[in-house]
């Protein structure tokens, strides 16, 4: 079956803003809410479709890829987001999306989706600090993530010996109980099964019935060249294991690129403040500057350069994250006034000053302005 266009699925225009997409999605999600669609057998698959479409279009990077390549952008596990056919199963989509929309219906939103048998594992966040050099080159990084994995002894079921859990007698598997409170019937999460709808007679001794075990996992993460602070890398299914056989969450690597002592970064461009001596700035010369690839470039300092003068070294900046060229490096000259002069040096500079009446155009024009300012004030 051919996949429908994501915009069509959401009923949104191609040019829709993030806000408009969100609105369109919420509208669809409400329409397709399972409580309102018990007689529509297609609601669940349509809901999944809408959820998948929005998952892509709400993410600026994925949206850009989709706008360019269509569904082909996500086939075959491209880049960091190895998504395979939508975001997990229906129940996970349900709990994520309806928590804010329908949280109140479910009793304050404290418990996610009372009717779930299995629940999706949490997403995990891992903060990774890397150097600017690593961000320039990209790197393969081994990380250790404390997480919970599916329990080996019970195969994730939570029941000793892998026995099937039983339907909760209190709520008959609904995960919710009703109570009369004045005029209202209030639905609450079932206290016996905590909303799971099932109970385990003999909990697994290894995991205590949760179906999960705490483990440290080692993962090798591919950090592409060009990442910057705030870049997120998603490792699908590498988050916490789901409860009772539910799907795993995702692992998000949050990148932080450390400050560099020589280079400042602005997007794909780099800046480097290079001090030059007063004499070099005045008579001109060469300075050698470092480049982020570990090399060096000779830069010509024109005679009469002032502090703040900028020069550009083309393509010596950072690589763009998804291809698309390389930034530039900007050199900014900082003319250094010499300090700790000897009496000989002072002597020479005084001598120099006497000969320098015509050499400071800024100074000359400043003082002529000051003079006329004072003159005007007197009149």
- Residue 243 touches Zn ion, criterion: CB under 5 A: no
Nearer to Zn ion, 241 or 329 (CB): 241
Nearest residue to 46 (alpha-carbon basis) of 58, 33, 36: 33
Residue 18 phi, psi (nearest 5) = -55, -40
By three-state DSSP, how is residue 267 classified?
Answer: coil
Least distance from Zn ion to the Cβ atom of residue 208, Å: 8
Per the DSSP assignment, residues forming a β-bridge with 176 are 189
CA distance 2 to 143: 39
Least distance from Zn ion to the Cβ atom of residue 244, Å: 10
Least distance from Zn ion to the Cβ atom of residue 175, Å: 6
Residue 22 phi, psi (nearest 5) = -65, -45
Subset of 196-235 contacting Zn ion (CB under 5 A) = 204, 206-207
With CB under 5 A as the rule, give the number of residues binding Zn ion: 12
| Total Cβ atoms within 10 A of residue 195 | 25
- Answer whether 314's CB lies under 8 Å from 262's CB: no
Nearer to Zn ion, 206 or 229 (CB): 206
Distance of CA 170 to the CA centre of its chain: 43
Q: Is 272 annotated as a binding residue?
A: no
| Total Cβ atoms within 10 A of residue 336 | 13
- Answer whether 95's CB lies under 8 Å from 106's CB: no
By three-state DSSP, how is residue 140 classified?
Answer: strand
Question: In the stretch 181-200, what mask flags binding to Zn ion with x, by CB under 5 A?
Answer: ---------x-xx-------
Question: In the stretch 157-186, what mask flags binding to Zn ion with x, by CB under 5 A?
Answer: -----------x-xx---------------
- Which of 37, 46, 122, 153 binds Zn ion (CB under 5 A)? It is 153
Least distance from Zn ion to the Cβ atom of residue 151, Å: 3
Nearer to Zn ion, 122 or 206 (CB): 206
- Answer whether 191's CB lies under 8 Å from 221's CB: no
Least distance from Zn ion to the Cβ atom of residue 107, Å: 13
Binding site for Zn ion (CB under 5 A): 151, 153-154, 168, 170-171, 190, 192-193, 204, 206-207
Binding-site residues for Zn(2+), please? 151, 154, 168, 171, 190, 193, 204, 207
């Amino acid at each position: 079956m051919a996949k429908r266009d994501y915009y069509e699925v959401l009923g949104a225009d191609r040019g829709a803003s993030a806000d408009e997409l969100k609105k369109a999605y919420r509208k669809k999600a409400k329409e397709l809410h399972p409580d309102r669609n018990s007689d529509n057998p297609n609601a669940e698959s349509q809901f999944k479709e809408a959820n998948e479409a929005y998952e892509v279009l709400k993410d600026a990077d994925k949206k850009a890829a989709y706008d360019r390549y269509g569904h082909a952008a996500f086939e075959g596990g491209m880049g960091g987001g190895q998504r395979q056919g939508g975001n997990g199963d229906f129940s996970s989509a349900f709990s994520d999306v309806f928590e804010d929309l329908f949280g109140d219906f479910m009793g304050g939103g404290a418990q996610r989706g009372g009717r779930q048998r299995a629940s999706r594992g949490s997403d995990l966040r891992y903060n990774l600090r890397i150097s600017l050099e690593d961000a320039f080159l990209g790197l393969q990084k081994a990380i250790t993530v404390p997480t919970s994995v599916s329990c080996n002894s019970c195969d994730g079921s939570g029941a000793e010996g892998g026995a099937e859990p039983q339907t909760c007698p209190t709520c008959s598997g609904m995960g919710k109980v009703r109570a009369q409170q004045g005029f209202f019937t209030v639905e609450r999460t079932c206290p016996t099964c905590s909303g799971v709808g099932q109970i385990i007679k003999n909990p697994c001794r290894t995991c205590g019935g949760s179906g999960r075990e705490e483990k440290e996992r080692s993962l090798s993460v591919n950090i592409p060249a060009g990442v910057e602070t705030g870049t997120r890398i998603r490792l699908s299914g590498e988050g916490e294991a789901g409860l009772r056989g539910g799907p795993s969450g995702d692992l998000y690597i949050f990148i932080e690129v450390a400050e560099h002592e020589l280079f400042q970064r602005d997007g794909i461009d780099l800046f480097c403040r290079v001090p030059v001596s007063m004499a070099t700035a005045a008579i001109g010369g060469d300075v050698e500057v470092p480049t982020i690839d570990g090399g060096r470039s000779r830069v010509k300092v024109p005679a009469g350069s002032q502090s703040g003068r900028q020069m550009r070294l083309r393509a010596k900046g950072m690589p763009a994250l998804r291809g698309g060229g390389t930034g530039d490096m900007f050199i900014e000259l900082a003319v250094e006034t010499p300090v700790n002069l000897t009496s000989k040096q002072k002597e020479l500079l005084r001598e120099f000053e006497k000969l320098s009446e015509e050499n400071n155009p800024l100074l000359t024009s400043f003082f002529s302005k000051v003079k006329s300012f004072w003159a005007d004030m007197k009149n």
